[in-house]
Structure 1
């Protein structure tokens, strides 16, 4: 029996109270969102509760996801919102 394919890693962005954005990585986005929402996630999301998931993208491994997370964290909030809008519109174009 061949070994199971490794789980993908995801970069995600949460929109939090006050319109703030939080970026992170995980292998299980729904579980991580629940952790943030319950106050057991990152220190940032304990102060600014997540309101919704606005972005997620899969990567083949943790290193690739961490590199993308770092790049996104270097963006201004306005640039992050442009990334989110572009991704949403691209996804809408692919789903009739």
Structure 2
């Protein structure tokens, strides 16, 4: 399998502590470099540099990657942090109906305009 087959879903931690979730058909390293260089000065991450890659997962099916990216973008900060830490027990707990995590202090990029090509 070539790294360019399929699609990557990734999460970046920005300098201000916010998370950005994206997807790419490129390698994660190439996409990270694009974020770091602030190619689009209007982009969410451009004013929050540097960014650090904290999670990446490869999907063979592009449709699966897009679905996962959208799912993660809808998650609470606590749930994203459980995924990043690979704390799957906590992830399950946070997924239960009626669970209300503490209000996040930092803004996530879930509502930000897309800045990458996606898959």
Q: Same fold (TM over 0.5)?
A: yes
Residue 52 of structure 1: how far off its partner (Å): 1.1
Length-normalised TM-score, structure 1: 0.78
- The CA distance in 1 between the partners of 2:50 and 2:66, in whole Å, is 21
**1:44 match:** 44
* Structural RMSD (CA): 1.9
Verify: 1:55 aligned to 2:55, yes or no.
yes
**2:28 match:** 29
Q: Residues 50, 66 of structure 1: CA spacing in aligned structure 2 closer, same or farther, 3 A cutoff?
A: farther
Residue 16 of structure 1: how far off its partner (Å): 0.4
Length-normalised TM-score, structure 2: 0.64
- What secondary structure does 2:51 align onto? strand
**1:8 match:** 6
**Greater share of strand residues, 1 or 2?**
1
Post-superposition, which runs of at least 4 consecutive aligned residues in structure 1 deviate over 4 A?
Answer: none
- The CA distance in 1 between the partners of 2:8 and 2:50, in whole Å, is 17
Residue 62 of structure 1: how far off its partner (Å): 1.7
**Greater share of helix residues, 1 or 2?**
1
- What secondary structure does 1:10 align onto? strand
- The CA distance in 1 between the partners of 2:86 and 2:43, in whole Å, is 28
Contact 1:9 1:60 in 2 (8 A): yes
Which sections of structure 2, spanning at least 5 residues, go unmatched?
88-119
